[in-house]
Amino acid sequence: MVPPRPTQLAHRILREAILNGDTVIDATAGHGHDTVFLAECVGASGRVLAFDVQEIAIQSARTKVEMAGLTCRVEFHQTSHARMAEHAQAGAVSAVMFNLGYLPRENHALTTMTSETLKALAAATDLLKAGGLLSVICYPGHPSGVAETAAVESWLDAQTARGWRIAKYGMLGTRMPSPSLFVARKT
């Protein structure tokens, strides 16, 4: 078995944890790969809330979801993930997935911003049910991604004092600094 990439490992872990009928959040819809994955996990009676600030991302993700025949499971919101609490009930969400950075093949200057990311992580904490999973992929391979990765790691590290169980995963020997996957279980 070849060690999985962080994105692949995130899917493996979340696939095991998400049940039919669950409500989950894709905090960074982008081109919709994770949105489709989450929509498959929650089944016909589940719900995915997908957020992105860029219209082009929402369109791209919506098309991918439509092509997968999963439209009725997904609710799109073109707004910052920092506002996710306006769209879901506290304690009702099984998983929140972040894939930070910029939208591939589009404007690389439009990237997630540390201040918004930290607000969104706090919002996700309130929305998650006890035992719910938070998955965050950070990209230290671009300038603002270095600071964002450090801020996310430090924010998560502080949650261990509240009893959260948290893991970090990344590749060695890559040309660029490897993306880091953080997976946290809310207590």
The 3-state DSSP class for residue 184 equals: strand
Q: Does 101 bind ligand SAM (CB under 6 A)?
A: yes
Question: Would you say 49 or 161 has its CB closer to ligand SAM?
Answer: 49
The percent helix, strand, coil of the chain (3-state, each to 5) is 40, 25, 35
Q: Does 179 bind ligand SAM (CB under 6 A)?
A: no
Q: Does 156 bind ligand SAM (CB under 6 A)?
A: no
Angle at 99 between CA 131 and CA 56, to 5 degrees: 130
| 8-16, 30-38, 127-135, 167-175 -> range binding ligand SAM (CB under 6 A) | 30-38
| 28-36, 65-73, 147-155, 167-175 -> range binding ligand SAM (CB under 6 A) | 28-36
Q: Under the rule (CB under 6 A), what is the footprint of ligand SAM?
A: 28, 30-34, 51-54, 57, 80-81, 99, 101, 103, 110, 112, 116
